[in-house]
Amino acid sequence: MKSAEFKYQQLKLDSRWKIVKNEFIDLEPDNDYPIDEVFFYFDEDILQATFDDYLVDLGFYGGYLQNERCGFFKIVVLKGNFLEGELLESFISRSSEIIREKLNFYFEGIPNGLLSNVKGIKIENGNGFKARHIYSAVEKISYRLTSNQLKNLSKAKNENST
């Protein structure tokens, strides 16, 4: 049961977007609340919105509760869907502020034609990217984090480094 109450992130979602789900609250993964009061907000299904044939999806990965606040947010932007379409963005960060800025970039840009001439990576039969692959068709970025890089990105601030 959720006992802590938080404000939603300030997103630039206008009426042209269909909001399937929005549980993106104004709370960083590293916070002072008891973990059993906030882990619900760090879930694989935080936000999903569509505009025409575009899909923006946000989740939190890494087992927040099980791994004592470890994990990261991941944004996926698609033209089409997870089974068939084009991957346009796969972005990860631990910062909800950075994630909010990236989401707003797409929420404003997509309806204004930002991606109309951008070609992404074809997805067929659900063969999407792994969590550690960073990709942006807009910024022309494609690289894979090593397992150690992903582990370091996922660490909670209060976790001792080894």
- Give residue 162's pLDDT: 38
Residue 31's nearest CA partner among 42, 17, 23, 22 is 42
- Give residue 124's pLDDT: 72
The label of the residue with tokens 């942006």 reads 136
- Give residue 149's pLDDT: 80
Between CA 99 and CA 106, with CA 81 as vertex, the angle to 5 degrees is 30
pTM of the predicted protein model: 0.87
The 8-class DSSP code of residue 25 comes to B
- Give residue 130's pLDDT: 62
Q: Within 50-146, where are the H helices?
A: 96-109
- Give residue 121's pLDDT: 85
Query: Residues of the chain whose pLDDT is less than 50?
Result: 1, 160-162
pLDDT tens across 23-58, in order? Answer: 999 999 999 999 989 999 999 999 999 999 999 999
Between CA 64 and CA 36, with CA 9 as vertex, the angle to 5 degrees is 30
